[in-house]
Amino acid sequence: MKPVIVIVLAVAVAAGAAVFLSRQPDRPSETNAAPLTADIKSGGHFRGPENAQVTLVEFGDYQCPSCGAYHPFVKEILNRYPQQVRLEFHHFPLISIHPNSMAASKAAEAAGEQGHYWEMHDALFEYQTQWSDKPDPKPVFAAIANRIGINGTILVQTMDSPRFQERILKDVEQGDRAKIQAVPTFFINGQQVHILLSMEDFVRVIEANLHK
């Protein structure tokens, strides 16, 4: 009987330890970025009122699963605080581990040229699993574009334009200057904010900055 008691106790202790560790706040050293300087605060794509009290700056990668996981929360924040929060998105494709991320950023830019950047931005995250592992994601980008009501053929034909790459690389350069090493990285008022993947934490951070 003794061994069974030891096993049951050990499993219970291991479960307790795992729950305890999983509830510790995540403060990974790899996401410590430098404060944003004035020149980095410009650029990017904006969503929300210009005079919003809080500008949430996101450096993201369309192929990054974490960015995809955070995306619904960012959208919900913009829905909950339509007058108070503005999103500023910067491309930061980690091409060494996400080979389709640059192409996705270009697709978003190409959609932007047709006046639908944010629709494509949302769709790229929402349908991330459909294109992220494809050797050639362009047909999926075209299909996504058609689904959101823009011309997929034109999007694919124009997405390799050097001006899109130039814009994306400008964002990457800004991210490098901010010493960003992981995505998504968020900033509010120039300072990096660590937000857990929960609506409660997002609301907590936004509310704290609204009442500053």
Residues that bind another protein (CB under 8 A): 2-3, 6-7, 10-11, 14-15, 17-19, 21-22, 26-30, 64-66, 69-70, 96-98, 133, 181-182, 196-198
Angstrom distance (rounded) from CA 136 to CA 149 = 22
Angle subtended at Cα 113 by Cα 112 and Cα 119, rounded to the nearest 5 degrees: 25
Shortest distance in whole angstroms from residue 41 CB to another protein: 25
Angstrom distance (rounded) from CA 197 to CA 174 = 25
Query: Residue 55 or 101: which CB sits closer to another protein?
Result: 101
Query: Residue 30 or 50: which CB sits closer to another protein?
Result: 30
> What are the backbone dihedrals phi and psi of residue 182, each rounded to the nearest 5 degrees, phi first?
-150, 155
Angstrom distance (rounded) from CA 28 to CA 182 = 10
Shortest distance in whole angstroms from residue 4 CB to another protein: 9
Shortest distance in whole angstroms from residue 79 CB to another protein: 20
Query: Residue 68 or 152: which CB sits closer to another protein?
Result: 68
Shortest distance in whole angstroms from residue 117 CB to another protein: 25
- Measured between alpha carbons, how far is residue 192 from residues 16, 41, 58, 59, 98 in Å? 32, 12, 10, 11, 23
HEC assignment per residue over 147-209: HCCCCHHHHHHHCCCHHHHHHHHHHHHHHHHCCCCCCCEEEECCEEECCCCCHHHHHHHHHHH
Query: Residue 3 or 162: which CB sits closer to another protein?
Result: 3
Q: Are strands 85-91 and 54-60 parallel, antiparallel or unpaired?
A: parallel
Shortest distance in whole angstroms from residue 66 CB to another protein: 4
Shortest distance in whole angstroms from residue 9 CB to another protein: 10
Query: Residue 90 or 98: which CB sits closer to another protein?
Result: 98
Query: Residue 24 or 51: which CB sits closer to another protein?
Result: 24
- Measured between alpha carbons, how far is residue 206 from residues 76, 91, 124, 153, 201 in Å? 12, 22, 25, 39, 9
